Copies of this chain bind each other. A is one copy, B any other.
Amino acid sequence: MELLKQKILSEGRVIGKDILKVDSFLNHQIDVALFNEIGKEFKRRFFDKKVTKILTIEASGIAIACIAAQYFKVPVVFAKKTESRNLDQETYESEAYSFTKQKTYSIRVSKRYMAKQDHILIIDDFLANGKAAQALIDIVHQAGAALAGVGIVIEKGFQNGGEILRSQNVQVESLAIVKSLEENQILFK
């Protein structure tokens, strides 16, 4: 997606060899107009898939998922990472490892909000090691629902998350795939 790649090139910042900071428009400050273009693009990529609900994970996936959901006209469910007094005891649970925070965490989705009749499109902002996406897919499977696919804004193509998901025959649509962040340069696939 050219508009997205241009935004990444003009505002993205490389930290070390493997971190791409896009907090000016993706995951701290949010460019809502850009997100609408991203939402339209996800709809184009999954135009032929039945989608009854979009699943994402807090916190950075929420904005993308909700704005995109307007183009699919479906509700959004976001997996929660922390336990709170409000959360159902009746939940699907899975585990993931955070690349940026360097720790394992649990994710939960209330069983009330995912049924076997659902066709779930997973949407998230980043795809790196694939652990978050795999945890979300695991929840879709626990619910007995169908997986329509996985929509990602930025995939770090030099990490193996994309390869793992595609090898499972999942339709993965990444709107920008970064080939390398070496020497402070952002190179797309």
Q: Which of A24, A28, A73, A84 has the most CB of B within 10 A?
A: A28
With A62-B63, A85-B19, A102-B85 in contact, is A112–B30 under 8 Å at CB?
no
A67 to chain B, nearest CB (A): 6
Least Cβ distance of A111 to chain B in Å?
A: 11
Can you list, as one digit per residue, whether each of A70-106 has a CB less than 8 Å from chain B (1) or not (0)? Answer: 1001111110101011111000000000001110000
CA separation between A36 and B78, bound complex, in Å? 18
Q: How far is the CA of A33 from the CA of B76 in the complex (A)?
A: 11
**Could you tell me the distance between the alpha carbons of A152 and B33 in the complex, rounded to whole angstroms?**
23
When C-beta atoms are compared, the residue in chain B nearest to A62 turns out to be B62
**CB < 8 Å: which of B25, B35, B101, B112 contacts A85?**
B101
Q: Is the CB of B21 within 8 A of A66?
A: no
Chain A residues bordering chain B, tally (CB within 8 A): 43
Residue numbers in B under 8 Å from A163 (CB-CB)? none
Determine how many copies of this chain the complex contains: 2
**B residues less than 8 Å from A75 (CB atoms):** 25, 29-32
Are B113 and A21 in contact (CB-based, < 8 A)? Answer: no
Which residues of B lie under 8 Å from residue A182 when comparing CB positions? none
Query: Known pairs A15-B86, A21-B86, A27-B86. 20 more at Cβ < 8 A?
Result: A23-B88, A23-B110, A28-B78, A28-B113, A29-B76, A29-B77, A29-B112, A30-B75, A30-B78, A32-B70, A32-B73, A32-B75, A58-B59, A59-B62, A59-B78, A63-B63, A63-B76, A63-B78, A85-B102, A86-B100
